[in-house]
Amino acid sequence: MKSLLLLAALITIEPAFSCEWRSDVTPEVLIKFPGLSQKDFVKTEWQGQLVYEGQKISPIYLDLVSEGLSGYWWRTDPNKNWKSVVRFRGEYPVRGRSNNSSSYKRRVLLIELGRSLWYSDKREQINNPAIYSAINDFWHVSNNCRMIF
């Protein structure tokens, strides 16, 4: 019986989030990605959560594309098409792979995130000026993020 309760508790535990993308305009809006173990560094796809003041709004899937200049794609639904992630170092877009130097602020734009959520079942949840501003602007990538850019 104890092992059954322990198993039930483990299933309901949320993953520890160690990589956060924080909105530049509304810092209470975050995209959180789970912590990566050593074996996870070979992964090319991550699932995070768009969160506002602790409430989950939508899953965010992120995928590394290793073709061409090498970039990232995102989507909110595993059955939908991928959309672009535009990466920045300071004020300039990043082309190709980049190291994880913390000398420049890492930021991203998720192209069409606002539109995708507005025309989905998430409209009620994002119908707040703070959230809507955040999803249509830059995201600051924390230094804890070990993603390749």
pLDDT digits (tens, 9 = 90+) for 78-96: 888 999 998 888 888 887 6
Residue 15 in contact with residue 33, Cβ under 8 Å? no
* End-to-end CA, the chain: 47
DSSP 28: T
Strands (E), the chain: 17-23, 29-34, 45-52, 55-65, 71-75, 83-89, 92-93, 106-110, 139-141
pLDDT digits (tens, 9 = 90+) for 8-47: 444 444 455 578 999 999 999 999 988 655 555 556 678 8
For the chain, give the longest Cα–Cα distance. 57
Q: Using alpha carbons, list the distances in angstroms from residue 77 to 6, 37, 49, 61, 146.
A: 31, 24, 12, 7, 23
> What's the pTM value of the predicted model, to 2 decimals?
0.77
Query: Is 78 or 50 the better-scoring residue by pLDDT?
Result: 50
**Integer Cα distance of 111 and 126 in angstroms:** 16
